[in-house]
Every structure is written in structure tokens, then in C-alpha cells.
Amino acid sequence: MPNHRLKHELTENYGISANTFELISDYCASVYIVSTPNKKYVFKLYRTFDTEIALQSANIMEFLWTQSFSVVPIIHTKSGHNTITVSFPEGNRAGVLYEFIDGKMGYELDSESYLTKIGEAMSLMHTLMENYDKPIVQLGKEHYVDRYINLMKEFNYSPTKIATLEEFGDILWNNVAKTKPGFCHGDLNVSNFIIAPDGQYYIFDFDCAGIAYPIKDIYCLCNMTETIFDFNMANVGNYIDSTEKLNLVRQGYEKHRILDDFDIAAVYSFIGLGCYWSAGQNNKYRPLIEGNRRWLNEKYFDIRYDWLMKWRKLCEKI
């Protein structure tokens, strides 16, 4: 969005006269740091097809804020709404304005310093959301597994390998389905929380939230703290060695909710499911950014297949 258009929208809807704009991300959404002479904000402009996600995310964050849970505060419009609608030739895009928290992102911190605290915050969030009374999207096997299976079929990838990944996906999903369903943030990794100078932790980016299996949030925190699937075969074993991280998260999480053996086993299953899920997300956003799907080739599928087969062998030793 041109800066003059963004400036107009913020003035018109929020009464904010901004003088500088910095685009810091333009993948799943366009995210700007907006500065006025006295204050900073973060403005997030969603893709046209993610309007419902934007509304759900804003509503969830507002609910948690009313429960005194530390989410990044949303700035309301002059008319009291938590989102705005911005028209474009390709369709309307939803926008949300947030407070700017001047602190350290999770990826800037030593994992031992935050895992227990975020684990406790996570379990409190899961508990609070049991009282949320608005509709929430249901995220099942189609979202986590089948999107990628269908993508391979569309590409005419090896039928034998597709069958193998369908079977493994069923196994992983059945392991996860043994845990209690409920609300999950869906992407609670080190890019989605920040610690303020006063020591307060703030969680944000609820765009992947839904009713699924809360254990996914523990997986994200334990196994997506350094990188999100670099698919370096030499690093596959690093994901299996997460006992120390898992124990730290568990210490905090069990202050509000108890984890059983099925829950812990499901963390490792979600590492495998994450490979399917990330490919599905790639196909949702990457063509929009790049304007094509040239990246979708035999190598793309082979890397993930080889990674998952090695992961399957490692899981047999757990």
C-alpha cells in the first residue's frame, strides 16, 4: 500500500497522523511499523481471502485482554471497531492497528529464560479460551495433513510416495487425536511473543488459531525455536532431542493444566505434522507473493519426503 494511502486510512479511521511507515513483513499479511511524533504503532493489513481470520484473531485477542491476559493491545477505531476494511482492486482487505511494544522478541532470548514462563501463559490461555463464546474455526486433518497430500496429487508426484505419506500422516494424526481437543494459538513460536522492559510477556499473531489440539502450541514452542524446517538432513536429530525444552515448558504449563503421556507423545507427532502443515501454508501464500508456482517441483516434494522418512525412523526409537 502506498504510504499516502496508508496515512489517509489511519487518519480517517483512527484520527492518527503518522509521518513515517516501515514495511517489516509482506508474506501472510502486510505489516507496518507506523510512527507519529510521539508514539509508534503496528498496522497489519490482511490478504483479501483472510478477512475471517483477521476478524477472529482480533476478537480472540480482545477477549483475552478482557481476561487480563497479556496480548498486544488492539487500538480501536474512532467508531469503536477492532478492525477496518480497506478497498483494493482485487477486493477488500481487513486491517488491525496494535500498540507497539518496545521489547525483545522471543528469538532474541535464551530459551531457558522464557520456556517455563511462556508455558504457564500458554496453559492459562488454553483455560481462559474454554469460556470464549464466539465461533472459532475448526482445524482438523484436512488443514494439517490433507492439503499437502492434495497438493502432491495435483502435481502428479510419485503415487507410491504419496501413499506412504498418506499412511504416515494418518498415524501421526491418530496419535494427536488421542489428546484432548480444544483451543490452540496454532503458531506460538519465538516470532509471536515479546518481552517488555518491565518483564511482561505479550503474545500476538493469533492468525493460525482454532479448535484443534492444544498440544500443538507446546510443539511450536519446543521445536520451532531456532528454525522452521530448514530440511537439513543432518539436523533432523536435533528435533528429537527436545526433552530439556519440553520439561521446562511442562513446568510452567502444569501450573494450570496437567499433561499426560499421550500429550507428550503427541508433541513428537506434531513435529512430523508440521512438515505437512507448512507445505500447505506455503501453497496458500507463496503463489500470491511470487505470482507463480515455479518453486513447486520434484525437489520440493522429495526434500519433505526424505525428511519425513528419516523422522519416522527416529520416532520409532522414542
pLDDT score of 126: 97
Q: Where in the chain is the domain with CATH 3.90.1200.10?
A: 105-315
CA distance 189 to 207: 13
Residues 122-145 pLDDT 10s:
999 999 999 999 999 999 999 999
pLDDT, residue 231, reads: 66
pLDDT score for 287: 84
Mean pLDDT calculated for residue range 84-98: 95
Regarding predicted confidence, which is higher, 112 or 73?
A: 73
Distance, CA of 157 to CA of 159 (rounded, Å): 6
Beta-strand ranges (E) seen in 118-259 are: 182-184, 193-195, 201-203, 210-212
The pLDDT value given to residue 295? 84
Helix axes 159-176 and 147-155, enclosed angle (nearest 10): 180
User: What pLDDT band is residue 4 in, cutting at 50, 70 and 90?
Assistant: confident
Instruction: Give mean pLDDT, residues 169-197.
Output: 94
pLDDT given for residue 109 in this prediction: 85
Query: Per-residue pLDDT averaged across 175-181, rounded?
Result: 94
Cα torsion 237, 310, 216, 138 to 10°: value is: 170
What single DSSP character describes residue 208? T
CATH T-level fold of 105-315: Aminoglycoside 3'-phosphotransferase; Chain: A, domain 2 (3.90.1200)
DSSP states along 80-91: S-S-EEEEETTE
For residue 123, how many C-alpha atoms fall within 13 Å in the half-sphere facing its CB? Answer: 16
Distances (CA, A) of 278 to 15, 143, 221, 269, 286: 38, 10, 16, 14, 11
Most confident of 97-111, 200-214, 277-291: 200-214
- The mean per-residue pLDDT over the stretch 294-301 comes to 90
Q: For residue 232, what pLDDT is reported?
A: 65
- 214 secondary structure, DSSP code: T
CATH of the domain spanning 3-100, picked from 3.40.50.300, 3.40.50.261, 3.40.50.10890, 3.30.200.20? 3.30.200.20
The vertex-132 CA angle with 276 and 27, nearest 5°, equals 40
In the DSSP assignment, the letter for residue 152 is H
* 145 contacts: CB under 8 Å, gap ≥ 6: 169, 170, 172, 173, 273, 276, 277
Please tell me which residue, 30 or 222, carries the higher pLDDT value: 30
pLDDT tens digits for range 201-241: 999 999 999 999 999 999 888 875 444 456 666 666 565 55
300 with 161: CB under 8 angstroms? no
State yes or no: pLDDT of 317 exceeds 80. no
Q: CA-to-CA distance for 228 and 155, rounded, in angstroms?
A: 24
- For helices 261-290 and 298-315, what crossing angle results, to 10°? 170
The chain-wide mean pLDDT, for the chain, equals: 91
Q: Which residues does 109 contact at the CB level (< 8 Å), separation at least 6? A: 190, 195
Question: What is the model's pLDDT at position 217?
Answer: 95
Residues of the chain with CATH 3.30.200.20: 3-100
| pLDDT at residue 113, as a whole number | 84
Mean pLDDT of 161-188: 96
pLDDT of 226? 45
